[in-house]
Structure 1
Amino acid sequence: MIELAGIIILGILAQWFAWRFKIPAILPLILIGLLVGPIASLYTEDGSKLIEPIWNGETGLFPGESLFYFVSLAIGIILFEGGLTLRRGEILHVGPVIVKLITIAVVITFVGAGMAAHWILGLSWQISLLFSGLIIVTGPTVITPILRNIPLKKDVSTILKWEGILIDPIGALVAVLVFEFISAGKGEAFTTTALIEFGKIVLFGFTFGFTFAKALALAIKSKVIPHYLLNVVTLAVVLGVFVLADHFAHESGLLAVVVMGIIMGNTNLPNLKDLLYFKESLSVLLISILFILLAANINFDNLMLVINWNTLILFAVVVFVVRPLGVFLSSYNSTLETKEKLFISWVGPRGIVAAGVASLFGLKLVEQEVPSAELITPLVFVVVLGTVLLNATTARPFAKLVGVFLKDSQGILIVGSSSFSRIIAKYLKDNERHVVIVDNNKSNIDKAKEMGLDAINSNIYSDDLIDNVELSDVGYLMALTGNTAVNKKAIENFSKQFGEQGTYRVISSEEMEDPENNPDHGLFSQTDDYIKLVNLTRKYPEIHEIALNSKEHFEGLIEISKVESEIIPLFIKTPKGRLEILPNDTNSVEVEPESKLVYLGKSFEKEPSKMVVEEKSIKEDEEKMTKEEKERKRKMEAEKEEENIENEK
C-alpha cells in the first residue's frame, strides 16, 4: 500500500515541480523512478529497490505479467487522448513538411538508427531495428512544455506539435512490426508469419477503432448515456476496444484506440470538451505512474551495460546526424528557412510511447530468451532521458543562437468572437498578422472558422490557452467581450503570457461616460464601448483606411471620431504595413509620414469640417434636453441595444 501511494504522490509532486520550473514532467519522473528503483539497490541494506514493480516472490506490485497488461492499457488510454486532440482542419494548414516528417524522416530514422546500433554496439539486426523503431516517436507531452515558453513562428511550433502527435502511432506500429518479425520468426527477420500478423494488426485495429468510435458517437448524440456517466462509459469502451482488438490480433489494440480517438475527435460531439478534460487528467496521472514504474523496473546491472562510450556515440549519431538528416530531407524545397530547419532538427525529445513500448517488448523478448533483449529497455531510456534533458535545457538558448527566437512577438489573441471581433480579426489576418480568436460560444467560433480565421473554443477561466504551443508568437491581447468582468479576467490570467507587447480591453458603458477616468487598458477610444462597436458593425460591417498627412491630421481625425458616432478608429498602419493598436489615450501615438488611420464604420465621404458642424448641431440639441429626457432617451437606446445583442446571439 505504501508503494502504491508513494508512486502517485511522487508522480504528482514531479508534475508540479515540472510546472513550477517549466520543464517536461518526464525528466523528474524518470529520475524519481531511477532513484527508487535501480539506484536504490545501491544504498538499501539488503540491496533491494524501494519500489519493485514486478513481484519477485517476496516484494513487488504486479505479479506475473500484470505489469505488461497495466502498461498496455495505460498507453492505450494515453494514445486515445492524443487521438482526440487531432483535427483534420488543423493538419491541412501544416503543409507538406509534416507529411514528409512522418514518412521520409521515419524511414531515415528507422534505417539510420538501426545501422548505428548494429555497427556501434554490435547488436543483432533484429534488436537494432527494434531499437530504431522505438525511437522513431517524438513525445507531444514532452515537446509542449518545451515550446510553450519559447516564442516561435507559428509554422515552426505547429510542425513540431503535429509531428509529435501523428508520429506516435506510426512509431508504435513500426515497433510492433519488428517485434512480430522477431517473435514469429524466432529470430529470423522478415518471415511470412510476421507479415500476416502485421496485416491482421492493421485490419483489426482500423476496423474496431472505426466501428466503435462511430457507435459511441451515435450513443452520445442520441443521449443514450447520461452526462454524469459519459466519461467513465467512454473509458470503459476504450479499454474494451483495446482488449477486444488485441484478442483478435496481438498488439492491434494500440492502433484501434488511436483510430477511435481520431474519429471521435473529428465528430461533432456535444460533450467532446468534457471528454478531453477527463482524459487529459487521467493521462497526467497515468504518465506519472508509468514513468516511475518503468524506470524503477530497470535492473542496475542492465543499466550499467549501456553506460559506456559506445552508447554515448550512438546517442550523438541519433540526435546530431539521423534527426537533422531526416528533417532537412523532409523540408527540401519547402518555405522553411535554414535556421528553422536547424531548430526543428534540434528539438526531437522521445516520450511515453517509446519508453512504454520498449519496456513491454523488452521484457517479453527477455522471456523468449532473444539475445541482447535485456539492452532494449535501458537503451531506449537513455535516449528518452538524454533527449529530454538536452532539449529542456538548451531549446531556448539554441533558438536564440540560430535566430528563430521571436524578440518581438506580433501575434494577437482576441478574446470574444462577436461580429466586430471577427471583422477586426479578418482585417488583421489579411494584413499578414497572426491572429487567434478565443470564445466559449461554439457558434461564434464556427463563424470565425468559416471566415478562415484561427479560432479556439475555450473558456478564459481555464488554463488551456497557456498550454497551446500555437500561441507562442502572440504578444498582444485584446479582450473584446460584452462582459467587463470577463475582459478583466482575461487580462489578469493571460497578460504575462500573451500581452508582453500590449494588453487591451473595450471599456464599459460606465467608463465611457467618464472619459477622464478611463482604464489604462482601454482600447480604441474613450467613447466606444461594446454596445457601440456591435451596433456600428451591424450598420457598417467594413474597415477603411485613410492616409495621414501629419500628427495634427491624425489628432483632427480622432477629434472627429469623438463627435461622429459612426466612426471608430482602430489602428495606425505604418508605411511598411505594420499595424499598431490604438489605445484610448492617443496622445502618445507616433505617426510616421505616409501612415494610415484604420477605422471601423462609414467612410469619410464628407469634408471633415462639415462632419464636425453636423455633429456639433446634434450635440447642441442634446444639451438643450432636460436631465429627465436625456435619461429616458439613454434607457430607450440601452434597451434597444441589448435587444439587438440578444438577437445576434
Structure 2
Amino acid sequence: SGLLAVVVMGMVMGNMSLPNLKELLYFKESLSVLLISILFILLAANINMEDLYLIYRWETAALFAIIAFVIRPLGVFASSTNSGLKINEKLFISWVGPRGIVAAGIASLFGSKLVSQGVEGAEYITPLVFMIVLGTVLLNATTARLFAKMVGVFLRKSNGIMIVGASKFSRIIASYLKKYGRSVVLVDTNASNIRLAKEQGLDAINADIYSDSISDDIEFNNIGFLLALTGNSQINDYALERFSDRFGENGAYRLVHANEVNNPNKNADMGLFSATDDYVNMMEVARYHGEIHEIKIKSQDHFKGLIEITKTDNNIIPLFIRNVYKIDIIPSMPLDLEIEEGSVLAYLGKEIIEKDTGEVVTKEDPS
C-alpha cells in the first residue's frame, strides 16, 4: 500500500503545474541513486549461500531465460504500444530497461513472512528473485554498448541542434529539421513561444541561458550544433561564448548583427544563413513567406548562382544544404561549401522557379 501511494502521488504531481518541478526531479534522481544503492546492499545481505544452493539447478537457468528473453520484451512492447518508439529502440529498452529493485524488495518482504508461516516452496522466492536481478544486471550492463550498436541506437556523433530563441522563424526551421530526422531543442524565456513550439510537436524548454542549471538539462545530451537566433545580439554572443564548447562541438553559429549587414566579412566564421539577413529581416520573411522550399542543386556554379539570387532578393534566405545522408547548415559566407551530388538547397521565403530556358525567377515575379 505504501508503494501504491507513492506511485499515485508521483502521477498526480507529475501532471500538476508545479513551479521548479525540474529541480525536484534532479533531486529525486540523486536521492534515488543513494537509496537504491543502500537497498540493494541490505537485500543482498539477507541472502545466505545456503539459499543460493537451493536454486543451483537447470530449472533456474530456464526461468532466467524465459524472463529475460520472452516475458520482459513482451512487457516492453505491450506497454510502449503507440508510443512512437521504433522497433530497435523497444528492443534496446527490453535489453537494458531499469528493473529489479521493486521485485527484490517485495520478494524479500513476502518471502521471509511466508517462510515463517511454513508455506511450502516459500524458501525459493527470495533467492530466485535475487538471482534474476543479479543475472540480468550483470548480463545487460556488460553488453549494453555492444547491443546498442547491434540494434542501431548507439549515438556515434552528437547531431542534435540547440536553437536559442523560439520565434516564428525558429519554429519553422526546427520543424524542417525534425521532419528530416534531426533532434532539435528550442530554448526561450518567452512562455508563449514555448507553448506554440510544443503545440507544433517540437521539444522546447522555457529557460534562461544565463541560468546555471540549464547545462544540466537532460534534453541536451545529444546536442552537437548551436544556433543563436534571438533578436538580441548580446544574448546571441553570450550563447556562443558560454555553450560553444558544450553544445557546439560540430558548429556554433548566430544571426548576423544589424551593424554587420554592410560588413559581411566581420565575424564571418560564426555568421548564420546569410551575411545580409539579421533578425528583423528573418522575422519579416517568416511573416509574409513562412515556408521552407527546396530546389535541386545541379553543380557548384549553379549553387553560387542561387546564392547570388538570395542576395538580391531580401525575401529569400538560404538555410541548409540537404542530401540523403546529412543536412549542412549554411554559414553567412557559403560559397566555399562543397556540393555533393543529389543535394538540394533549402531556403525560407518566396519560391524560386527555374524555367525551361534556364532562367530563374521567383513565384511572385510577374514575368
Q: For 1:101-500, list aligned pairs within 5 A.
A: 251=1, 253-306=2-55, 310-324=59-73, 342-405=91-154, 412-429=161-178, 431-441=179-189, 442-457=191-206, 461-465=213-217, 467-468=218-219, 476-481=225-230, 482=232, 483=235, 484-495=237-248
Q: 1:321 to 1:385 in 2, by over 3 A?
A: same
- For the residues of structure 1 that align with 2:173 and 2:103, how far apart are their CA atoms? 44
Q: 1:486 to 1:365 in 2, by over 3 A?
A: farther
Q: 1:587 to 1:320 in 2, by over 3 A?
A: same
- For the residues of structure 1 that align with 2:78 and 2:180, how far apart are their CA atoms? 29
Q: 1:276 to 1:338 in 2, by over 3 A?
A: closer
Q: Which residue of 1 aligns with 2:317?
A: 568
Larger radius of gyration between Structure 1 and Structure 2:
1
Aligned residue among 311, 332, 347 for 1:584: 332
Q: CA deviation at 1:260?
A: 2.4
Count residues in correspondence.
349
1:436–1:456 contact (8 Å) kept in structure 2: no
Deviations 1:128-184 (A, max 9, x none): xxxxxxxxxxxxxxxxxxxxxxxxxxxxxxxxxxxxxxxxxxxxxxxxxxxxxxxxx
- For the residues of structure 1 that align with 2:56 and 2:268, how far apart are their CA atoms? 60
- For the residues of structure 2 that align with 1:335 and 1:537, how far apart are their CA atoms? 30
Q: CA deviation at 1:448?
A: 0.4
Percent identity at matched positions? 57
1:358–1:380 contact (8 Å) kept in structure 2: yes
Q: 1:538 to 1:358 in 2, by over 3 A?
A: same
- For the residues of structure 1 that align with 2:122 and 2:204, how far apart are their CA atoms? 48
2:107–2:126 contact (8 Å) kept in structure 1: yes
Would you say 1:596 and 2:344 are equivalent positions? yes
1:439–1:458 contact (8 Å) kept in structure 2: yes
Aligned residue among 262, 265, 278 for 1:516: 265
Q: 1:577 to 1:295 in 2, by over 3 A?
A: closer
Query: Which one-letter code corresponds to 2:33 in the other structure?
Result: V
- Tell me the SS of whatever aligns to 2:338: coil
Q: Please, which runs of 5 or more residues in structure 2 have no aligned partner?
A: 363-367
Q: 1:254 to 1:388 in 2, by over 3 A?
A: same
TM-score using structure 2 length: 0.75
Q: CA deviation at 1:494?
A: 2.8
- For the residues of structure 2 that align with 1:437 and 1:333, how far apart are their CA atoms? 23
- For the residues of structure 1 that align with 2:20 and 2:98, how far apart are their CA atoms? 32
Higher helix share: 1
Q: Which residue of 2 aligns with 1:220?
A: none
Q: 1:492 to 1:593 in 2, by over 3 A?
A: closer
Higher strand share: 2
- Tell me the SS of whatever aligns to 1:447: helix
Q: CA deviation at 1:559?
A: 3.3
- For the residues of structure 1 that align with 2:180 and 2:152, how far apart are their CA atoms? 21
Q: 1:284 to 1:532 in 2, by over 3 A?
A: farther
- Tell me the SS of whatever aligns to 1:525: coil
Query: Which one-letter code corresponds to 1:490 in the other structure?
Result: F
| Higher RCO (CA-CA < 8 Å; seq separation 6+) | 1
Deviations 1:558-614 (A, max 9, x none): 23434544432101243x59643223342342334664322223445898799xxxx
Deviations 1:282-338 (A, max 9, x none): 333322332333333434543454466553443233223443566678899999887
Q: 1:468 to 1:573 in 2, by over 3 A?
A: closer
Q: 1:529 to 1:380 in 2, by over 3 A?
A: farther
- For the residues of structure 2 that align with 1:306 and 1:583, how far apart are their CA atoms? 64
TM-score using structure 1 length: 0.46
Q: 1:296 to 1:491 in 2, by over 3 A?
A: farther
- For the residues of structure 2 that align with 1:359 and 1:254, how far apart are their CA atoms? 15
Q: Please, which runs of 5 or more residues in structure 1 have no aligned partner?
A: 1-250, 611-649
- Tell me the SS of whatever aligns to 1:444: helix
1:412–1:477 contact (8 Å) kept in structure 2: yes
